[in-house]
Structure 1
Amino acid sequence: MAQQALGRLFDIGLGAPPAATNGVVTGKRIHLKQCGGVTVVLVGGVATGGDDLQVDLQQHTAASGGTPADLDVITKYWIKSAVALDNSETWTEYSQAAASEIAVAASETTDVEQNILVFEVEATSLSDGYEWISVNVPDLGAGDKTLTVLYFARDLAAQRAPANLPALLT
């Protein structure tokens, strides 16, 4: 029997559980030492207006947080949006100057639609002494948009059965 994709191609970690964005959402850290990079996926619900997607990518020197710093490497991201996502949507690609933040323009209607936002972080892009990242979401204002952040660690250094994968924080 062939090994399944989980454990061979990727592992999944939680960046932030489903939460309302009426306050800062502090992302959980993930260790990039045992993978080539992370695909960050944000899933947002519909809001009544004013809660356009925003993220802030941080790098850390320790699993407990250590010294955090902006990780200015986001140059591309992709979004799918619809009032009710049903998998008929296609990706729209966005480009920006390298930054640790994404602030999606209100004209993209990410506030009044469901969204999937994706960006990539390469492990080699972290500064010397930094091995962990986290994704934070600032207070988006009105607060009725819910948001979940998932980390897909990819290019795993050791491929294993899912039950034998190391914890993503260590």
Structure 2
Amino acid sequence: MHGLGNCFDIGLGAPPAATNGLVTGKRVHLNNAMGVTVVLVGGVASGGDDLQVDLQQHTAGTGGNTSDLDCITEYWLKSAVAMDNSETWTRFTQAAASEIAVPASANTDIQQNLLVFEVEAASLADGCEWISVNVPDLGAGDKTLAVLYFMRDLQVSRTPANLAALLS
């Protein structure tokens, strides 16, 4: 038994791109998962591009109603100028919010980063079944960033080829 399709599925929130403007995250449906682990992968920038995110919930895969999902109370961060897997996680806590603004003291602008937070499907408001993660214009504009969704605790296990599309 493999993890993909049995324990988790992976979706793309945002392909690698320079954050010199709003990065609008792709939506993912939480109908077959108890939650999602959101992973942001950031590259080195010249300064002024500390990580920020905004978590949204939606009533439809496209269109529908959109609102903030104020459920992020903790997130985890690894950073280094050149990450080599010797880094350890640093935990950050905050009041429940849809936004994360990593403190400038974390130096996420001039380092490579992994930022992780969890969203429970039960956190969504009635009628909302989709989430997305947006990244605002970070300012200086040369930080490359990608967002991945790891759908976890799948309610129905399948071989990867038979997993349902994550938008439907």
Shorter chain as denominator, the TM-score bin is over 0.9
User: Percent of pairs identical after alignment?
Assistant: 76
Deviation at 1:66, TM superposition (A): 1.1
Equivalent residues in 2 for 1:52-131, closer than 5 Å: 52-131=50-129
One-letter code aligned to 2:94: Q
RMSD between aligned alpha carbons?
0.5
One-letter code aligned to 1:54: Q
- Give the match's secondary structure for 1:55: strand
Unpaired runs of at least 5, structure 2:
none
User: How many equivalent residue pairs?
Assistant: 168
Which whole-Å CA distance do the structure 1 matches of 2:149 and 2:156 have between them?
Answer: 17
Query: What corresponds to 1:34 in structure 2?
Result: 32
Give the TM-score of the pair, scaled to structure 1.
0.98
- Give the match's secondary structure for 1:98: strand
One-letter code aligned to 1:152: F
Q: Deviations over 1:10-56 (max 9, x none)?
A: 00000000011000000000001110000000000000000000000
Query: What corresponds to 1:143 in structure 2?
Result: 141
One-letter code aligned to 1:35: A
Query: What corresponds to 2:165 in structure 1?
Result: 167
Which whole-Å CA distance do the structure 1 matches of 2:10 and 2:118 have between them?
Answer: 14
Deviation at 1:105, TM superposition (A): 1.0
8 Å Cα contact 1:29/1:65 also seen in 2: no
One-letter code aligned to 2:83: L
- Give the match's secondary structure for 2:133: strand
1:4 aligns to 2:2 (yes or no): yes
- Give the match's secondary structure for 1:163: helix
Unpaired runs of at least 5, structure 1:
none
Which whole-Å CA distance do the structure 2 matches of 1:65 and 1:59 have between them?
Answer: 12
Which whole-Å CA distance do the structure 1 matches of 2:19 and 2:42 have between them?
Answer: 10
Which whole-Å CA distance do the structure 1 matches of 2:24 and 2:121 have between them?
Answer: 21
Which whole-Å CA distance do the structure 1 matches of 2:63 and 2:87 have between them?
Answer: 37
Which whole-Å CA distance do the structure 2 matches of 1:150 and 1:66 have between them?
Answer: 23
Q: Deviations over 1:90-116 (max 9, x none)?
A: 000000000000001111100000000
Q: Deviations over 1:117-157 (max 9, x none)?
A: 00000000000000000000000001100000000000101
